[in-house]
Structure 1
Amino acid sequence: MKKLSIVDIANHLNVSKTTISFILNGRAQEKRIGKDLVERVQKFVDEVGYKPNSLAKSLRTGKSNIIGLMVEDISNPFFASIARLIEDRAYKNGYKIIYCSTDNDTQKTRELISMFRDRHVDGYIIAPPEGIEDDISSLIKDGMPVVLFDRHLPKVNTDFVEIDNLFSTYNATMHLVQQGYKNIAYITFASNQTQMQARLQGYKNALDENGLKPFIQEIVFSQDEELIMAPLSAFLKKHKNLDAVFFGTNHVGTCGLKVINSLGLTVPNDLALVSFDDYDVFKLFSPPVSAIAQPIEAIADSVITVLLNKLNTSSQHISSQSIILKTDFNIRGSSKKAEKAVAK
């Protein structure tokens, strides 16, 4: 059955399409349209099950009540949890969320931004890949509210919410040093993104302060875990003198746990472990893995609060906010040196 339009309804009821439009948009009273006519239109609309075209409505009202949420990978527990919380808060405020994964792919992100523009979304929440600066600047120039999270783009002046990455890794590396570990490796994904660079710097700063040598392995991100585990395994086999490993993300961390098991290494006796981005797998490993926990509720809350403020304020000239949140370091068995038995 062909979808009915306002023109079809107008023709069927022999009423002008402008009048029908006013009634369907709740402006009958304002336009002094008679109650009988409103009821006649409403009855017909109910009978035929007319649904207004949301795209046409958004063109008319200038609002779609949809927010575009772009994350790196919606299957990652960190992004999935944040997306869920943002969706709940948005829904309570009358907004729906469309989300998608960028896979950190610049071209894919461009295409997704273009799709969101076509859908007339009201605002954007983005964990941006590199090379997307011009596209985001263009959104801002067109008056679109944009909030970045998890990382920011130094050349783009917009609101962003992230954590204190540098202090988080500095603090966790210092914990390993204080436990007496000397050959501490840092294994991460190769990336120029602000959050990844800051994490690497925190690790280096802690080692510099203690006169220790860095051991860094940067792995090219891949959806195929085998392509992450192979270089990780080769690195651990090559550096047999390592006594501790710091994983820069939870995805590297879980691949690392599989490699450590396959190499028959015991934790923490052969190798102490610390990872960024705490989640359930780390608590279930034996011994449980010490990990930096991001404040997921606070991140989601800050992101949606900043965006709703932008959506509800007519002026686009509010100065941009940079919200930096603190993390928690959960110390568990994987990074503690076993107390040596004291001979009697």
Structure 2
Amino acid sequence: MSRQISIKDIASHVGTSITTVSFVINGKAKEKHISEKVAKKILDFISEVGYKPNSIARGLRTGNSKTIGFLVDDISKPFFSSIASVIDEKAALYGYNIISSSIGTKNKSARSILDIFAERRVDGYIIAVTDGIEDEVAKLIEGGKPVVLFDRYLEGIKADYVLTDNLLATRDATCHLIDNCYKNIGFITIETAQQQMVDRLQGYLETVNEGNLQSFVLKIDYQNALNPADEIKKFLIDNPEIDSLIFSTNYLTKQGLKLLISGDDKLLLSKALVSFDDFELLEYIKPPLTAVEQPIEALADNIIKLLIKKITKGVKGAKQEESIIKLEAKLKIRESTMTK
């Protein structure tokens, strides 16, 4: 019955107008001076029959579907799955539902996903921009759609951003290793122009240069690499003087940890280890790994507050001012970086 019943059915049963039922369903009973008795009668019947309003139809009537589109490259990555979960909780506090989707490595579905979001009449968009969809995101913003971007900054797109201070985070991690007497610090990253990854590398390079230390950097073409773990192994063999390592992403950390089960564990465990992004496994391996923990809760909170504000007040497309919020990460120090 919950899928078949209509507002007209509810109005007929309760003995009131369709308009009155619609106002009550949309939380406008007090605003429209509908008595508490009538509102309660309508809500009690809705609860009894399990009526759920069609979000698309409601969006056509009110201009507000109470849904938000959430788009990232791969929601299975620990960072994205964690922030998606918290954003979903925070959006619910404002009465919004999240529709989440992943683009994948080739971005082939970006346009179709955004089309689906549009068909669902989402009220706003939360997007971590991946390579290849910049134009599509720019069109959303220029078209006056409420958009908040996170994780990745793009110089050419004027929008609201909520970011981790990636440069400061890797500076802190590198300083921690230097303070614990490590002098030959390696940095493993990916070959990319994504700003968050560029910032992480820059934070490392600035810090080792300031300390008059040699830099050791491995850049992996991750999308085309046959076996990133083998590249990490070769990097460590070719640079035996390295006494510590910073992995710039959690998936590179996972590739490095494969050496623990490939007979190359001494090659890895002879060094202090730091992972950018914390995840549950790091706390339970031996020794537990030090990690840069991104401020998931604060990121999600700022993203939702910014977007709800834009949805409520409306936006003017390309005329809107750019707002950039940078939040500090936390270095969770564990046994893997104990004093040398």
TM range (shorter): 0.7 to 0.9
The alpha-carbon distance between structure 1 residues 103 and 220, as it changes in their structure 2 partners (threshold 3 A), is: farther
Pair 1:73 & 2:74 matched? yes
Q: In 1, are the aligned partners of 2:170 and 2:203 still within 8 Å (CA)?
A: yes
Instruction: After TM superposition, list the pairs within 5 Å mapping 1:187-206 onto structure 2.
Output: 187-206=188-207
**What residue in structure 2 maps to residue 313 of structure 1?**
313
Task: Between the two structures, name the one with larger relative contact order (CA 8 Å, sep ≥ 6).
Answer: 2
The alpha-carbon distance between structure 1 residues 210 and 48, as it changes in their structure 2 partners (threshold 3 A), is: closer
CA distance in structure 2 between the partners assigned to 1:57 and 1:273 by the alignment: 52
Pair 1:238 & 2:243 matched? no
For this pair of structures, how many residues does the alignment match?
A: 328
Give 1:294 shift.
Answer: 0.9
Instruction: After TM superposition, list the pairs within 5 Å mapping 1:84-99 onto structure 2.
Output: 84-99=85-100
**What residue in structure 2 maps to residue 220 of structure 1?**
221
CA distance in structure 2 between the partners assigned to 1:297 and 1:6 by the alignment: 38
| Structure 2: gaps spanning 5 or more residues | 33-41
CA distance in structure 1 between the partners assigned to 2:115 and 2:105 by the alignment: 16
1:58-111 CA distance string (max 9 Å, x none) = 123211110001123222222122111111111121100011122354333233
Q: In 2, are the aligned partners of 1:150 and 1:163 still within 8 Å (CA)?
A: yes
TM-score (ref. length: structure 2)? 0.82
1:226-282 CA distance string (max 9 Å, x none) = 7332322232233333221110011111221221453031665x2111111122211
CA distance in structure 2 between the partners assigned to 1:261 and 1:179 by the alignment: 28
Pair 1:251 & 2:251 matched? yes
Query: AA paired with 2:312?
Result: N
CA distance in structure 1 between the partners assigned to 2:213 and 2:91 by the alignment: 47
Tell me, what secondary structure is at the counterpart of 2:108? helix
**What residue in structure 2 maps to residue 126 of structure 1?**
127
1:23-75 CA distance string (max 9 Å, x none) = 556599999xxxxxxxxx99x99999986543233123211110001123222
Rg larger for: 1
Give 1:302 shift.
Answer: 0.7
**What residue in structure 1 maps to residue 295 of structure 2?**
295
Q: In 1, are the aligned partners of 2:56 and 2:65 still within 8 Å (CA)?
A: yes
The alpha-carbon distance between structure 1 residues 55 and 235, as it changes in their structure 2 partners (threshold 3 A), is: same
**What residue in structure 2 maps to residue 336 of structure 1?**
338
CA distance in structure 1 between the partners assigned to 2:138 and 2:7 by the alignment: 37
CA distance in structure 1 between the partners assigned to 2:279 and 2:29 by the alignment: 54
Q: In 1, are the aligned partners of 2:167 and 2:200 still within 8 Å (CA)?
A: yes
Instruction: After TM superposition, list the pairs within 5 Å mapping 1:41-60 onto structure 2.
Output: 53-60=54-61
Identity of aligned residues (%): 41
Tell me, what secondary structure is at the counterpart of 1:106? coil
CA distance in structure 1 between the partners assigned to 2:200 and 2:163 by the alignment: 12
Q: In 2, are the aligned partners of 1:70 and 1:126 still within 8 Å (CA)?
A: yes
Q: In 2, are the aligned partners of 1:64 and 1:120 still within 8 Å (CA)?
A: yes
